[in-house]
Copies of this chain bind each other. A is one copy, B any other.
C-alpha cells in the first residue's frame, strides 16, 4: 500500500521502464505521440512508432489509451489548453510606446514561436483538420478570441493612457499578431526558421508597432 504522501513522480527516471505511475506514462506517451505525429502525420505514424519512442511495447499503449484516435485527441486537448497568459509579466502601461511594443512582441514570441510544441501542434491541426473540427472550433472560440479581445483592450488602454492617435490596429488587433503568424506558417512549411531570421523579424515587428502606435514620434525621429 503506497504511502498517503504521493511518491514523487520521479520525473528524472533514467528511462521509462516498467510500471510507472499511470499519469507519468500517459504523459510520456503523449510526448512521444506529439513528436511522431508531427514528424510523419497522424496516418503515417504507427502505434509501434509511438511505443518505441517512449520505450514501451505496442500492446502497452492500450493499457493507457483505448485507441490511436484517443491518443490523438488527448494530445490536442493537452496542447490546446489555454496558455498561461496570466503568469506573464504585467503590461508596462506606464512605460513608453517602445517598451510596450517590445513587451507585446516578447509575449507573442514566448507564447507561440519559442514553444516548439506550438509549431508542431499547429501543423497537426492543419494536417488533420478533418479529424478534429469540433475541437478546433472550441479552441478558436474559447482561447483564440478571448486572447485577441484582451489584446485589443491592452492596445486601447495604451493609446488612451498616452493620448495617441488611434491606429487601425486598435480596432483590428489581429493585425498585431500577423507577423508572428507569418513566422509560424513559414516554420510549418519550411521546417526551419525563415530565411530572414527570427531575430530580424522580431525587430521589424517591434518597429512596425512603434510606427503604428506613435507615428508622430516616428516622423520626428525620421526627420
Contacts and interface: CB of A to CB of B under 8 A. Distances in A.
Interface of A: 39-44, 122-123, 125-130, 133, 136-137, 140, 145, 165-169, 171-172, 174-175, 177-179, 181-182, 184-186, 188-191, 194-196, 200-201, 204-205, 207-208, 211-212, 215-216, 218-219, 222
A6 to B, nearest CB: 27
A212 B201 contact: no
Copies of this chain, how many?
4
A10 to B, nearest CB: 25
Contact of A178 (B129, B140, B181): B181
Contacts of A128: 41, 127
A76 to B, nearest CB: 12
B189 A174 contact: no
Contacts of A140: 190, 195
A142 B171 CA distance: 37
Contacts of A125: 189
A175 to B, nearest CB: 6
Contacts of A168: 204, 207-208, 211
Contacts of A133: 191
Given A168-B211, A172-B204, A196-B172, A191 B41 contact: no
